[in-house]
Structure 1
Amino acid sequence: MLSVEEGSVLKRGGKIMKKKINRRDFLKVMGVVGMTASLAACGDSGSSSAAASSTAGGDDGVITISYWTTDRHDQAYLTPLIEEYNKTNSDNIYIDYQVYADNYSQMLDLAFSTDTAPDVFKLSGTDPLEVQVDEKKMLLDLSPYMTEEYKARFWDGAFVQGINSWGDGIYSLPFTASACRLFYNQDLLDRVGISAPPKTLKELVDDATLVTKQLSSEGIYGIAGNYKSAMSAVMRSIDPVVQVSGGTCNGFDFKNGKYDFSSYREVLQLFREMYSTGVAFPGSESLDIDPLRTQFAAGNIAFYFSLSHAEPGVYQSQFPTDINWNCCQIPSLSGNTDGVQNLWFGGSDKAINASTKHPDEAWKVMEFLHSDEVMGPYYTAGLGTVMIKSAVEGAEPPASIETMPDLAIGANDQNWPIRPAISIEGEDYSTVAVQCIFGLKDIDQAISELNDRYNNAYDKSVADGAKRIVYPNFTAKNQDTSV
């Protein structure tokens, strides 16, 4: 059964109320695919669905702009700000703010298919930008609303073709970003005599081995990974090490316009040395990230890879801990930064429904949500690494970045160009990478097979009309996309 947690809807007067909607249209659509959807808290009194937009309040002239998001961790911060906006804005706009949890992508697709999609919404990330723009006609071009002065509020390089821009249009505004870091327990490093966190991947192998050798009798191990989800684990560990070592991003070689996973070889070999020889926390192959964090908070893990935006809040509220922990930049093969790390997310977040009845009012809501007044304190509170330069420059840095400077997004954390959209046969590269790490596949043979399968899929895509991506002057460090 497909279910969606009730969204929180801000009603007039600053009260939070919940209301079940008429599900007739939704059940009819979901019946076609053999699933049942439950949608709650959508719309004003008298509304039968999560309407794209409506004039609320009878004859009072107030325009309701619906805003959907999945960012539950922002809810406590945004709720009072949106309540205040609804009471005081001079544009007669009321923001109908709804926060969803599971199955958001399905709910958003369903809403668009039944003409009940919100005016402003967080992108789901399930379709490439060009599909949402050209094929599904979901997204409004924001560029007519954006002056050069407004665009200059964002960090350099914040607008990227295929991420938030397509052709001459801009379809989503940069919001927050996150990059991978190596997190470590300083107490354990002190115990075994490690003076500084590793700068090379080989140093990480040696350090993790030393911790395990000295402390495994106490149930303490050198490293762990959340390998139950291959893609999640590889994207936060293997991929960033390959990238900062000067390799490819997800295996795609922009310089030559083809897939080449050879830059993964040495990285996989060193990870295998840790995970198939008893150095790593037992059961890492079946760990999710939260059980891993629980063990780290308990002091049982020395190192693990994760995301810069998430961990401070995790150990403050979700898994409180007394251990002395910190983070450092991703170790590379050479110890130098030979390539930039692709942002885990960054550049694409909120958009406006192309079919909204009130585009000007929807844009005003976008301006409010991205304003310095909203995003400056948001940054200071440590809720996210904000990509709005004007908001960050006028705000105090969060305590987490003051104490752990490597949490901050830097010049070596950037959006890579968009990779080809292909459909491969067989297992994806992340699944194969995990099999290599745990000794289930030969690394050289696996890389050869990946190259064949990915290039066959890419060649077919090009034969079907896709343009081959080739940037002759491209390197992992200096990403020149001129042709």
Structure 2
Amino acid sequence: MSTARTRGGRAGRVVVTASALVGALLLASCGDSDSGSSDGKTLRLWHYEGPDSAMGVAWNAAIKEFEATHPGVKVKFEEKGFEQIQKTAPMVLNSSDAPDLMEYNKGNATAGHLSTQGLLTDLTAEASKRGWDKELDAGVRTTSQYDADGVMGSGKWFGVPNYAEYTMVFYNKELFAEHGISAPPKTLAELTAAMDKFVADGITPLANAGAEYMAHQYLYQLALSKADRAWVDSYELYKGKTDFHDAAWTYAAETFADWVKKGYISEKSTSTKAEDAGVSFIQGKAPILFSGSWWYGRFQSEAKFDWGTFLWPDSNLTLGSGGNLWVVPKGAKNKELAYDFIDITMSKKIQNLLGNNGGVPVAADPAAITDPQSKSLIADFNTLSARDGLAFYPDWPIPGFYDVLVSETQKLMTGSAKPDAYLDALQEAYDKGAPKT
């Protein structure tokens, strides 16, 4: 995912079929003599974190630690794209080429869906034996467990998140000052006034990516600002009826469409990828980016201006959860080695490293986090966690909903669908995929 999560998306690029991708993955592995080996000498690891991201730095250190503590054992790391794994995981994991340990997206539509297909190892006993269940607080632990229907929050452990993530507003302090805007805005009215000032000065204020996750995450955040925990639980956990024409969803769709009309969001960003939006912020072109903590380490290393963050104003809820999961495929050949590697990534040494490189650790020693920006990042996460403010992600409830959100939100951006039609389309897809009660 470069260093940021490129959460799928089909518009504006050549579509590669899942069968073609899985074929490429399998061919890439067939030439490796230790592929699928069960001799206990090789741990095959797949993840998609960029090497300069907080997670990439931490996992590279974990590989060195693992090899130092397991003489004669080598880690065969294979970097995969997020979309490769997202699209092909069911086929790859149902083959003899499954890795021993893999990073995979969390939620009902992804890890939950694979768990119902019998493709993931039940980690419940290991979580108890190794103390992972005690390291993770309730909000983070939600995405580790799935019931028989693949719904998160209870049941067996099928994954272990060893970092957390949440969304925030990144802003360019220098551009704000240059255009006479006091920062950071503490209310939505102040944020709107700042965006009006940028538009008046000929600048599109919000970096956006309509071809991937970013656009519908803006919209979901707008809905969350009018929602509560019961609303989230109804939508994500099916603990009630989800009505896409309720006050929260209606406000979100109408406000998002209005923001495009007002020039806060460029209609030209309909086909933009998340990487392009992130780069526009790094290059100082976009003054504001609403996205996740997965960008934090990269912005620390690449942005050459003074920047800061704040939580979305006037909202108790924001997108976030435990991070992506370490999952052990059912067909893994070296499961004990996989469990040992997870253990190392949960160690204080690796967790502290993660925290000092722009990540949100789940088991670090707070006194060991010395970087000022990292302290701020973790403090905001603790604020969210304390008020039960992590509201997961909009594409999680049902398999395939990510693509629906991308394509329908693009229509809302171009004006080819009005808010009512947009919400109708989401309701139809959601009702079709949600468990029948």
Trace 1:61-460 onto structure 2 (pairs within 5 A). Answer: 63-73=41-51, 74-75=55-56, 77-79=58-60, 81-89=62-70, 93-101=73-81, 103-105=84-86, 108-123=89-104, 128-135=110-117, 137-147=118-128, 149-160=131-142, 163-166=144-147, 168-213=155-200, 215-216=201-202, 220-229=203-212, 231-235=213-217, 237-246=218-227, 248-249=231-232, 252=235, 254=238, 256-262=240-246, 263-281=248-266, 283-314=268-299, 316-317=301-302, 320-322=303-305, 324-331=306-313, 335-337=314-316, 340-343=317-320, 346-382=322-358, 384-388=359-363, 391-393=364-366, 395-402=368-375, 408=381, 410-411=384-385, 412-414=388-390, 416=392, 420-421=397-398, 428-447=404-423, 449-450=424-425, 453-454=428-429, 456-457=431-432
Give CA-to-partner distance per residue, 1:10-68, whole Å, 9 cap, x none: xxxxxxxxxxxxxxxxxxxx99879852668859xx964620x422xxxxxx5433222
Bigger CA radius of gyration: 1
| TM value normalised by structure 1 | 0.70
Give 1:65's aligned amino acid: L
Q: Distance in 2 between matches of 1:108 and 1:451?
A: 25
Structure 1 unmatched ranges of 5 or more = 1-29, 56-61, 469-483
Aligned-CA RMSD value: 3.8
Q: Distance in 1 between matches of 2:400 and 2:104?
A: 22
More helix, by proportion: 2
Give 1:368's aligned amino acid: I
For these two proteins, the number of residue pairs brought into alignment is: 401
SS in 2 for 1:304: strand
CA contact (8 A) 1:72 1:100 kept: no
Q: Distance in 2 between matches of 1:314 and 1:63?
A: 37
Q: Distance in 2 between matches of 1:182 and 1:251?
A: 26
Higher RCO (Cα < 8 Å, 6 or more apart): 2
CA contact (8 A) 1:252 1:419 kept: no
Give CA-to-partner distance per residue, 1:224-268, whole Å, 9 cap, x none: 322233x43212x11123113316559938553233343122233
**What is the Cα deviation at residue 329 of structure 1?**
0.8
Structure 2 unmatched ranges of 5 or more = 1-16, 149-154
| TM value normalised by structure 2 | 0.76
Going from structure 1 to structure 2, the CA distance change for 1:64 and 1:250 (only over 3 Å counts) comes to same
**What is the Cα deviation at residue 310 of structure 1?**
0.8
CA contact (8 A) 1:165 1:172 kept: no
SS in 1 for 2:253: helix
Q: Distance in 1 between matches of 2:377 and 2:127?
A: 35
Q: Distance in 1 between matches of 2:427 and 2:413?
A: 20
Which region of structure 1 is more displaced relative to structure 2, 308-317 or 366-375? 308-317
